[in-house]
Amino acid sequence: MKKEDLDRFYENTVSYLQGQLAEPEISEYLDILKKDELLKKLYFRLKDVWEYHHIKNEAAKIDLDKAWKEMTVKHRLFDEEQAKQKVTSKRFLHMPKSWQIAASVAIIVCFGLLVSRPGLITSHKDLVHVFECPKGDMVKMNLSDGTVVWLNSDSKLTMAQNFSPNNRELAFVGEAYFNVQSDPKHPFVINVANRQVEVKGTSFNLRYYPEEELFQTSLEEGKVLVHSKSQLIELSPGDQLNVNVATGTSRLQKLNQVEYYSAWRTGRLMFDNMPMESLMQTVERWHNHEIILEDPELMNMKLSGVLKRNKSVEHFMKVLSLAQPIKYQIKEDTIFISKMN
């Protein structure tokens, strides 16, 4: 590829990321991405640098020129493996570990959506970006509309390329705390568990892990509307909605301490009369260990207390075994729990 073509592509990419590319230039640019797999990959690498700094509120530190130079040698593109070594490893060198993992997953998911399905890109609305917080981590994100999101372990946030203050819709799985920027003209909408959560400038905790079959919304401030095919439920501050997604049954209750359900943001899990099975699912995500309850009777054992994230899983299991009639064994990344004889 000629130097001038590469320079033009780079300039258009920067303009596109900055929202300064107008129609029909956008259509022409996306056609190029659809036809050229290598340029598509370079686009996502530049986009990852761009979004990483915006999410971390470090837009002033973006150096796309440097990132681009690292992708080219004497105006010739690296092959894929070289690009990974020259660009990705250097760019990730200064990132916190959790961001290295999350950003890596985001790149892989984007490539999977766009590279393995030719012809998917028909407009800029079809480009999506996925942010995943893996087990053992927690991530705070600042979205472009001013909304702040805390992603808990094993959670995933999916948004369109054209997510903006005027287009605030995304999809979600896992657990997150949202502090949504108020804008009555442009509602913030979350698609989760075959429902739509419409937010009116609000602080709330949202939880939906498919394996738990529980959709839960705990509202601290503002107003939330939960839409499903059969009903519309409005939440006021202090309300918690629990929905069994398998049966469709729902329960709306008033909480004395709604902050109890978002304490995980500060590194604490506060649990009161929680079944051991549910608690261990959270411990699995926080510490990236598999936990096997060897006696079925243990699943519904009720537990109360506080789990601190900065304590090791070994510490937690030791304290738990002192308070409850259980014994445990840790083998590499698996914990076996059984009843005390």
Of residues 68 and 104, more confidently modeled: 68
Q: What is the pLDDT of residue 125?
A: 43
Most confident of 10-24, 153-167, 187-201: 187-201
At 60, the pLDDT band (50, 70, 90 cuts) reads: low
CB of 78 within 8 A of CB of 72?
A: yes
Q: How far apart are CA 327 and CA 341, in angstroms?
A: 9
Cα–Cα distance measured from residue 161 to residue 106, given in angstroms and rounded to the nearest whole number: 13
Domain with CATH 2.60.120.1440 in the chain: 127-265
Domain ranges in the chain with CATH number 3.55.50.30:
267-339
In the chain, where does DSSP find H-type helix? 3-17, 25-35, 37-55, 64-69, 80-83, 89-92, 97-115, 276-287, 313-323
CA distance 190 to 198: 7
Whether pLDDT at 121 is above 80: no
Topology, domain 127-265? Jelly Rolls (2.60.120)
- Closest C-alpha among 186, 188, 191, 187 to residue 178: 188
pTM: predicted TM-score of the whole model, two decimal places? 0.65
Helix (H), strand (E) at residue 235 = strand 232-235
* Residue 262 DSSP SS3: helix
pLDDT value of residue 254: 96
Got the DSSP string for 158-186?
Answer: EEETT-BTTB-EEEEEEEEEEEPPP-TTS
pLDDT in tens, 258-305: 988 999 999 888 888 899 999 999 999 999 999 999 999 999 999 988
Q: In this structure, what DSSP letter does residue 68 have?
A: H
82 has a pLDDT exceeding 70: no
Right CATH for 267-339 from 3.40.50.1820, 3.55.50.30, 3.30.565.10, 3.40.50.300: 3.55.50.30
Strand partners, 219: 204
